């Protein structure tokens, strides 16, 4: 779920996801989970695998926070679309940066007013803040 930017799975809950890599072959009888971190802090798996999950969560949270900081600066200073594009131009291609670049491209065609554009940037800011909070809230016991 971490890689797809979905919220963590609550203990005792289950989820079904399509397995695209098996689209043209028989489905396996089982899939083995090698590591997990639940929302209550419980962990499962080898310490190295659990640490990989936790470190990836920290990295993704920092990426969302960095993008949110830029968005907040733009909102505070009433940036134009070109100013946002310039601010994100040289950023590494993270999920957050890709999302902003895609939104900037889409709003170029769809935002009829400056208020609609600002609303889109505010939506992204709020979304990134929520995603970061979700990623940082789970700490292992």
* pLDDT band at residue 43 using 50, 70 and 90 as cut-offs: confident
pLDDT in the model for residue 31: 74
Residue 82 lies in a domain: yes
**Which of 137, 141, 129 lies closest to 57 in space, CA to CA?**
137
pLDDT in the model for residue 17: 65
Count of structural domains within the chain: 1
Residue 60 lies in a domain: yes
Residue 11 lies in a domain: no
| Mean pLDDT, the chain, whole residue set | 85
- Which residues pair with residue 43 across a beta bridge? 37
Query: Distance (Å, rounded) from C-alpha 82 to C-alpha 15?
Result: 41
Residue 66 lies in a domain: yes
The maximal CA–CA distance of the chain, rounded, in angstroms, is: 55
The boundaries of the domain holding residue 26 are 20-137
pLDDT in the model for residue 20: 64
Residue 91 lies in a domain: yes
Q: Is the pLDDT of residue 112 over 60?
A: yes
Q: What is the pLDDT of residues 7-22, one digit of tens each?
A: 666 767 766 666 666 6
Provide DSSP, the chain. Answer: -TTTTPPPPPTT-------GGGTTSPPPS-----EEE-TTS-EEE-HHHHHHHHHHHHHHHHHHHHHHHHHHHHHHTT--HHHHHHHHHTS---HHHHHHHHHHHHHHHH--SHHHHHHHHHHHHHHHHHHHHHHHH----
* Residue scoring higher pLDDT (53 or 126): 126
- pLDDT above 70 covers a percentage of the chain that reads 83
pLDDT in the model for residue 44: 87
Residue 109 lies in a domain: yes
Residue 132 lies in a domain: yes
Residue 37 lies in a domain: yes
From residue 80, give the alpha-carbon distance in Å to each of 2, 39, 59, 73.
32, 39, 29, 12
């Amino acid at each position: 779920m971490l890689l797809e930017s979905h919220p963590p799975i609550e203990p005792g809950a289950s989820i079904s996801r399509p397995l695209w890599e098996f689209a043209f072959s028989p489905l396996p009888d089982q899939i083995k989970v090698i590591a997990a971190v639940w929302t209550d802090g419980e962990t499962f798996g080898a310490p190295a695998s659990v640490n990989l999950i936790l470190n990836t969560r920290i990295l993704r949270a920092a990426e969302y926070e960095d993008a949110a900081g830029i968005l907040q600066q733009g909102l505070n200073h009433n940036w134009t679309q070109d100013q946002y594009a310039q601010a994100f131009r040289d950023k590494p291609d993270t999920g957050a940066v890709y999302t902003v670049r895609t939104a900037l491209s889409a709003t170029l065609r769809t935002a009829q007013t400056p208020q609609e554009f600002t609303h889109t940037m505010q939506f992204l800011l709020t979304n990134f803040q929520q995603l970061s909070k979700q990623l940082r809230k789970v700490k292992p016991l």
